[in-house]
């Protein structure tokens, strides 16, 4: 009985004949590996095994990130974004949040390393247009980047080097 339940739960997505897309979701309908249409809110029926529905949350989302750069800056930020083009987002990316996090963090790192004396507000103003432009091609719109942590701390490497002298 346990094995039967495990088999059903494992193959449910393949054999189910419908998909419910909620108001905060969007999706794509694939048939035999090819894009067929974009799914809006509602109940959608499919052919088991032949059709695949890939659904994602399109609501405004908050994401946190933190890093320590080479020049010992600690940066934490919240990215508020939404999925604007479900088809692009689901078909051109493996992990949208990972791409978003890496893109914005790369822009923050680029700005902080070149302008270490900027405030969080100034860094935010500089990177927002650049980050928006970079992720637009993936169907993502960044609304706001808010810094939760932004400061300079002693580098562990510098502290350890001073202890050995």
**Residue 34 and residue 47 in one domain:** yes
**Residue 106 and residue 92 in one domain:** yes
Helix extents (H) in 42-146? 86-92, 96-114, 120-136
Angstrom distances, CA of residue 102 to CA of 53, 108, 134:
27, 10, 11
- pTM higher than the cut 0.75: no
Examine residue 161 and state whether it is found in any structural domain, yes or no: no
In the chain, what percentage of residues exceed pLDDT 70? 82
Residue numbers of the domain that contains 114: 61-156
**Residue 73 and residue 125 in one domain:** yes
Question: What integer is the mean pLDDT of 62-71?
Answer: 50
**Residue 42 and residue 28 in one domain:** yes
**Residue 137 and residue 65 in one domain:** yes
Residue 91's pLDDT is 82
21-30, 47-56, 70-79, 135-144: segment of lowest average pLDDT: 70-79
- The tens digit of pLDDT for each residue in 36-66 reads 888 888 998 988 888 888 887 755 555 454 5
pLDDT confidence bin for 77, thresholds 50/70/90: confident
**Residue 67 and residue 53 in one domain:** no
Residue 57's pLDDT is 74
Contact 155, 149 (CB under 8 A): no
């Amino acid at each position: 009985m346990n094995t039967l339940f495990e088999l059903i739960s494992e193959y449910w997505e393949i054999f189910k004949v419908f998909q419910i897309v909620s108001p905060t979701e969007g999706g794509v309908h694939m048939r035999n590996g090819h894009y067929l249409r974009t799914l809006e809110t509602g109940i959608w029926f499919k052919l088991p095994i032949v059709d695949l529905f890939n659904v994602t949350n399109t609501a405004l989302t908050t994401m946190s990130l933190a890093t320590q750069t080479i020049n010992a800056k600690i940066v934490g930020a919240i990215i508020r974004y939404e999925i604007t083009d479900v088809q692009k987002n689901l078909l051109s990316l493996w992990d949208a949040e990972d791409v978003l996090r890496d893109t914005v963090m790369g822009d923050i790192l680029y700005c902080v390393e070149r302008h270490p004396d900027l405030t969080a507000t100034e860094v935010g103003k500089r990177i927002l247009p650049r980050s928006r432009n970079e992720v637009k091609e993936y169907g993502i719109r960044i609304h706001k980047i808010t810094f939760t942590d932004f400061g300079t701390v002693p580098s562990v490497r510098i502290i350890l080097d001073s202890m050995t002298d």
